[in-house]
Amino acid sequence: MTKLSVNINKIATLRNARGGNNPNVVQVAKDCERFGAEGITVHPRPDERHIRYQDVLDLSEIVQTEFNIEGYPDRRFMDLVKRVKPAQATLVPDPPEAITSSTGWDTITHLTMLQDVVSELHESGVRVSIFINPEIKFFEPAKLTGTDRVELYTEPYAVQFPKNPTAAVAPYVEVAAIAKKLGLGLNAGHDLDLHNLAFLKESIPFLDEVSIGHALICDALYYGLENTIQMYRRKLDL
């Protein structure tokens, strides 16, 4: 079964636009779980423009499914993850000013650094996933980092999907087979939505987890949060 982890960053963005605590990030996380999500994802950034570091601490007290914290592994992020001890930490190579994730790790260039980070997080009992592009050359070095999983960066898939779904998914199928052979768990995320999710799942049936935020929250404006989560779950329950 492929788990659906709901990224609630956009809920925090809406809250921060007016101040106060409406919508309530903690309550939304509880509701997502109640409506069928198997995980909650957050991505705190240094400027706290959406999820705040205090949100992460608050959420760690109530999340009953898998809590996944994404971020660039600077010292503040590492200390937060080691304090919270989520089910999973997903390492992304975003600079502080990035609006959203735009590429995966160069696991060749950053191999030693990633080995150190993964080892430190493992000492705290945290499962580690590394955000990665669908390029064969990055997968054996990813294995050498000691990571438990890799998360496929799926924006290129999403962009090409409307024109040619088969061509769009081909490199992902290829690297997914390599990840499986190497014994790496496999996650996916970025720009996945109700249109392209099922085809990705059909093409890579052994996906462990998808993390979806922006599209899911946008869909919830029209369909409602409970219905939307169920719609996404049905795309995965093939």
Q: Which residues contact 159 (CB under 8 A, 6 or more apart)?
A: 168, 191
**Residue of 33, 50, 190, 209 marked catalytic:** 190
Q: What is the DSSP string of 161-202?
A: TTT-HHHHHHHHHHHHHHHHHHT-EEEEESS--TTTHHHHHH
Tokens of 38: 């198997």
**Residue of 33, 50, 66, 70 marked catalytic:** 70
What are the DSSP E strand ranges found in the chain?
3-7, 39-42, 66-71, 88-91, 127-132, 149-153, 185-189, 209-212
Tokens of 137: 């050359």
Q: 43 an active-site residue?
A: yes
**Residue of 43, 66, 151, 209 marked catalytic:** 43
Tokens of 225: 């949060």
Q: 70 an active-site residue?
A: yes
| Cα–Cα dist 134/126, whole Å | 24
Tokens of 187: 């996650």
Residue 112 CB: number of other CB atoms within 10 A?
A: 10
Q: 151 an active-site residue?
A: no
147: three-class secondary structure by DSSP: coil
User: Which residues does the annotation mark as catalytic?
Assistant: 43, 70, 190
